[in-house]
Chain A
Amino acid sequence: MVILLLTNSIPMATPGRLDGPPDPNAKIKALFLYNFTKYVEWPAATALMTPSFRIGVYGEYPNLVKELNNMAATKKHKDQPFKIINFFSIEDAVPCHIIYIAPEKTDDITALKRKLDVPILIVSDEIGAINKGAVINFFYESSKQRMEISPANAEKDNLKVSSQLLGVSKVVN
């Protein structure tokens, strides 16, 4: 009798994240981040003018970076290719359209925004991050990935969040 093995091994990890495959939660977050590119508008006048549409990941989340790179290999934002940038310190941060902030970097949101000084959709993953300047914050509810959005923070960052996105989110200020 051949015993089946899981499709991939499941290594030790910090809560909510896995160090290696498979990480379905990372894919779900990547799906959300990709969708944000469709439901958020960056101001034309002050938008980041780069050939690619940049999604940054600040902190350690290799599975999310991997999923985003998979997405970037086949998808585009309008005519722009995606570029995924992973950095681990404020000093290394580069301007991006979206930056996902890993939980352990939540306290750096203000410093990050100050350094980059362009309209960035800051997406965090820690309770209380909206109060630290994030526009969208992920949280889990009933085994599902959910998000809270702060229209006030979005406005401060010159971002326009669609009513459809607000409709599927918990709206906070």
Chain B
Amino acid sequence: MIRLLTILIFILCSLSTYAQNGNLLSKSYNSYKAGELSEAKILIDSAAQSDQYKSQILTWYLKGFIYKDLFKKEPSDAARSEAVTSFAKLLEIDSTQKYEAESKQNLKYLASTYYNEAMQSLATNPQKSDSLFQSFEAAMNLTNDSTFDLKGSRMKYLLARGTTYVQKYRSDTTEVAREEAIASFQKVLALDSLNKKANYNLGVIYYNQAVNLILNADYDEIDILALSEFEDKSIELFEQSLPYMKAAYQVDPQDVNILEGLAGIYFGLKEFETSNKYKEELKALSE
């Protein structure tokens, strides 16, 4: 803020055009400086729409700050989005790159608010979270920061998203929730095929589905003549689970949950020798 003020005072005072009374930028800046954000907003919006100011770097610079502070004062998607758009516009037209670092810093701040909000909204409104996360990625892409691990953030978000849908599936058992969970973890694996958490969670989803299919079967619905077909379905799920759990094991062969998972999957597949091998490994870990 202090830096902004210094820069703006210098620039605004040094340019006679801006020093004149009635200048929209000056007025907006003065309102901003006085903490009158609503007034500053009205003035900068007028400036940004006028032919006289819309091609000027300072217009977008000031607008970015005004909207950022409006968002900080009273968080709203519209203010934040307008701040991002303003800084993006500034980067687009600032051939001098004079304000690049500062604009990118502001974009990173705004991006971080999108990310945090996306994570917080997962439990209550996952659809909104997806939109917020997309905004985070878009804002971070504007910074063109090669040192930032955007892929890592994406994986963290997708893992959290998958977990949220698994929990949702546990409570309401809707097929949509299960599919969303699977899709989230699959996307993580597309970025990192050996991701332990994604592999483990996918293994668990299919394993649990197989076990629940059997344990919840009604005695009168599964006639002996159809038992073979019924077992085929559960075996298919155990088999779907296996490669994911094995991949997780490859990454961490001493994880208790993964060892339990493998023992359970092989048990479901009636491969008792292999199941016992993992149980022995599990036992050895606790000794």
Interface residues in chain A, defined as those with a beta carbon under 8 Å from any beta carbon in chain B: 1-7, 9-10, 12-13, 15-16, 18, 22, 24-25, 27-28, 30-32, 34-36, 38-39, 71, 74-75, 140, 143-145, 164-165, 167-168
Contact = CB atoms under 8 A, between A and B. Distances in A.
Given A4-B201, A22-B215, A34-B219, A16 B270 contact: yes
B271 interface: yes
Contact of A35 (B223, B263, B271): B223
B217 A6 contact: no
B257 interface: yes
Interface residues of B, number: 47
A18 to B, nearest CB: 7
Contacts of A15: 272-273, 276
Given A12-B279, A164-B225, A27 B261 contact: no
A1 to B, nearest CB: 5
A150 B207 CA distance: 35
Contacts of B257: 3, 5-6
Interface stretch (B89-97, B107-115, B228-236): B228-236
Contact of B220 (A2, A22, A24, A75): A75
B228 A168 contact: yes
Interface in B259-287: 260-261, 263-264, 267-273, 276, 279, 282-283
B204 A6 contact: yes
Contact of A168 (B200, B224, B264): B224
16 contacts: A4-B200, A6-B261, A7-B208, A7-B211, A7-B212, A9-B260, A10-B263, A10-B267, A15-B276, A24-B267, A38-B224, A71-B219, A140-B270, A143-B270, A145-B270, A164-B224
Interface of B: 156, 159-160, 163, 166-167, 197, 200-201, 204, 207-208, 210-212, 214-215, 217, 219-220, 222-225, 227-228, 231-232, 234-235, 238, 257, 260-261, 263-264, 267-273, 276, 279, 282-283
Contact of B197 (A3, A22, A30, A38): A3
Nearest to B238: A143
Nearest to A34: B219
A123 to B, nearest CB: 13
A36 B225 CA distance: 11
B255 to A, nearest CB: 9
Given A1-B197, A10-B263, A13-B279, 16 more contacts: A4-B166, A6-B261, A6-B264, A10-B279, A12-B279, A16-B272, A24-B211, A27-B215, A35-B227, A39-B224, A71-B219, A143-B231, A144-B228, A145-B270, A165-B224, A168-B228
Contacts of B215: 22, 24, 27
Contacts of B273: 15
B2 to A, nearest CB: 38
A1 B156 contact: yes
Nearest to B159: A1
A15 to B, nearest CB: 4
Contacts of B282: 12
A4 B261 CA distance: 11
A47 B58 CA distance: 99
Contacts of B231: 28, 143-145
B161 to A, nearest CB: 11
A7 B260 CA distance: 11
Contacts of B163: 1-2, 4
A10 B224 contact: no
A1 B228 contact: no
A9 B235 CA distance: 20
Contacts of B260: 6, 9-10
A2 B264 CA distance: 21
A42 B269 CA distance: 34
A38 B222 CA distance: 12
Contacts of A4: 163, 166, 200-201, 204
A154 B222 CA distance: 24
A32 B231 CA distance: 12
B17 to A, nearest CB: 54
